[in-house]
Amino acid sequence: MLSIVYWLLFTACGMAMARWLLPEKRPVVRVWLGAALGLMLMMWLPSGCAFCVKITVAAHGLALLPLAALTFAAWLGRKKKKAARWSEDDRRLGKLLLFVALPLTAMGAYLQWTHNIMPAADGSLHVGQSTYGDLALHLSIASGLRGAAFPPDYTILPGARLSYPFLADSLSTSFMLLGFDLHAAIVFPGILMTALTFSGYVLLAARMADTKKGAVIAVLFFFLNGGLGFLYMVDMQGAALGHVGANELQSVKGLWERIKLVLNGWYQTPANHAEFTTYNLRWSNVIVDMMVPQRTTLAGWSQLIPCMYLLHDALRPSLPALDDAPKDGPTAVLARRHVNIRQMIMLGVWAGALPMVNTHCFLALGLLSLGWMIWDMIQNRRWLGRAILPWAVYGLLAVALAAPQLFTWTFQQSVGNDSFLNFRFNWVNGEQGMLDGYFWFYIKNIGLPFLLILLALLEKNEKRRFLAAGAFMIFIPAELIQFQPNPYDNNKLFYIWYMVCCVIAADYGLELLNKLKGMRAKPVIAVMAAVCCFFTGALAVAREVVSDYEAFSKADVEAAAVVEEMTAQDDVFLTGDQHLNFVSSLAGRRIVCGPDLWLYWHGFNEITAQRHWDVRRFYEDPEHNADVLAAYGVDYILVSAHERYNYDVDTAALEEKYSLLYDRDGIQIYSAGGAAGG
């Protein structure tokens, strides 16, 4: 209960700040902005206070002081005018949220509940297909940050600073410290961020699009994305052309059999197919492959979309009805240069807080802002002095607040590491020498919306070109530079490009459809277009809904509870490098070295190799390799089925030299400091 009260307090303060600083915004928009701002403050303030008192309940109590100070500062700087009241436009926005955002949120909440270590009747913990790989990392961070000094280390690589954006996971830590169990602490903020993302994009699309219909279609383009991969299921369906692991999508005959294969197979969806070299399908559905498993992406989008809204709204301060928006777009009103300076200050502070929520979102927002600023400066070159002032306020604040985060965390991990910032043309299509032709790669992966984007830019439409000026400022670097060791991670930039471009595609698609007025084939064309746009994405979502895998057995859960009870938070365990490790993920204890499944892609190429070797030599010869325990400060030694499978464990030597503290269901835990029988 305390955790809910704490969250409600931050939400109330966020809404009050939005009301005082942005009273002219519609009530629906203010509520959404306030809720998002409150969640951002709840991520940041306890973590900031943890630099003084570690991340404890005390830090959360202390965080109420800066919360009160910021709320008071917003009241002092308030705009002394009556807040906008509920209007017809709000009613229409409310209907959009009710009929579009709410069903999406309900589905997202279901996936959050069932895919994040959902307890089963037999005592085990289950996950979905998308969360099977990465969730354990987020669990280890969330459970391992309890009581941690800041800046914290990786729990799966003690001694290495946690430079991965951790605020989404520290938010779950906050809920754990204030009373939630691990499952609820992961699910509840996940649902909050899901709701903010869906509702936020609906409101953003409604602000950007020409019409309400265009906003709805843009939302569907983005969240039901998937491309033309379904054509592989239709092609040659009368013949079985492959087998498991090799052209598996076409390994059965008939469309229905192939659909069943997609719904039951391991990454057989034609959006993000496991056989990259066979199909080259890499455009993951954003709900099931980004929002559900990638918690930093979900947290980033929940905060990025408000920033995008505030920036776009500042450049188009008029508030036309949705279906009466001017066709020439944001820059039509720039000559008046009446930009809300409070809004730009709020935007600068909000943007500056993004790096440790999601660094890709901070980078994408910076690139988007650069594109729009260049357009703005060109349009207002006669009033350049007045035009640049709001940008200066926003940019200087954002950079000033972001710089300490980047130097403390991001640059420490990436600068001097040749796994980061490398030239790579054509994203993942160029990994093995252009598997597909340049444009065909994007056409088949993104589908009809990609063609609509390109065709729309051939028309003379100022608003769409303005949107594209920011969006393609993101696309071009993402297309040319590999920012992280895993080239696939550039999709975190491409999807933000796509967020903006979906509005362009939706507006232009409706414009083309309207030109078919009077044609009897118009409904047929509309249905065919819908199938091409949404069938692959719908399959991806359906597959994720039915997926179910055991991540931790009942024995794992029971052993994790004992570990939490009998060991200290900063104790170190020697374990194998399995990614489903109950010691690090469920109990939140530190282990000598986690799996390269994560650490390699975080840029740790050398340090892990030595640690993996040290772990192996101890397990296989404990008597002559006790130096490993001293070198890494090991307190406990785990032997489970994973260690026995991966190493030739000398259990006799372990039993002779070390005290056995736990022995149940094939799991043994030894004290590294106590002699056998001691």
Q: Which residue has the tokens 């290495």?
A: 160
Distance (Å, rounded) from C-alpha 170 to C-alpha 10?
A: 15
184-241 pLDDT per residue, tens: 999 999 999 999 999 999 999 999 999 999 999 999 999 999 999 999 999 999 999 9
pLDDT score recorded for residue 472: 97
Average pLDDT over residues 604-620: 91
383-426 pLDDT per residue, tens: 777 788 899 999 999 999 999 999 998 887 777 676 787 888 88
Class of domain 553-671: alpha beta
Distance (Å, rounded) from C-alpha 539 to C-alpha 542?
A: 5
Q: For the chain, what is the mean pLDDT?
A: 92
pLDDT score recorded for residue 420: 80
Whether the bond between 293 and the residue before it is cis, its omega within 30 degrees of 0, is no
pLDDT score recorded for residue 258: 95
Q: Which H or E element spans position 413?
A: helix 411-414
Which residues have a Cβ under 8 Å from the Cβ of 328 and sit 6 or more positions away? 461, 462, 463
Residues making up the chain, counted from first to last: 678
Q: Which residue has the tokens 């929002």?
A: 291
pLDDT score recorded for residue 319: 37
Average pLDDT over residues 568-576: 95
pLDDT at 675 > cutoff 90: no
pLDDT at 331 > cutoff 60: no
- pLDDT bracket for residue 101 (50, 70, 90): very high
Q: Is pLDDT larger for residue 68 or for residue 377?
A: 68
Distance (Å, rounded) from C-alpha 519 to C-alpha 510?
A: 15
Q: Which residue has the tokens 């994007």?
A: 442
CB burial string 39-52: b at 16+ within 10 A, e below: bbbbbbbbbebbee
pLDDT score recorded for residue 528: 95
Q: Is the dihedral of CA 20, 23, 28, 30 positive or negative?
A: negative
43-87 pLDDT per residue, tens: 999 999 999 899 999 999 999 999 999 999 999 998 888 888 888
Average pLDDT over residues 19-29: 94
pLDDT at 678 > cutoff 90: no
- pLDDT bracket for residue 339 (50, 70, 90): confident
Distance (Å, rounded) from C-alpha 548 to C-alpha 551?
A: 9
**Maximum Cα–Cα distance across the chain:** 90
Distance (Å, rounded) from C-alpha 350 to C-alpha 300?
A: 12
Q: Hey, what amino acid is at 571? A: D
Q: What is the pTM of this model?
A: 0.94
436-446 pLDDT per residue, tens: 999 999 999 99
DSSP result, 542-585: HHHHH--EEEE-HHHHHHHHHHHHHS-TT-EEE----SS-HHHH
So where are the chain's domains? Answer: 553-671
- pLDDT bracket for residue 335 (50, 70, 90): very low
pLDDT score recorded for residue 141: 96
143-171 pLDDT per residue, tens: 999 999 889 999 999 999 999 999 999 99
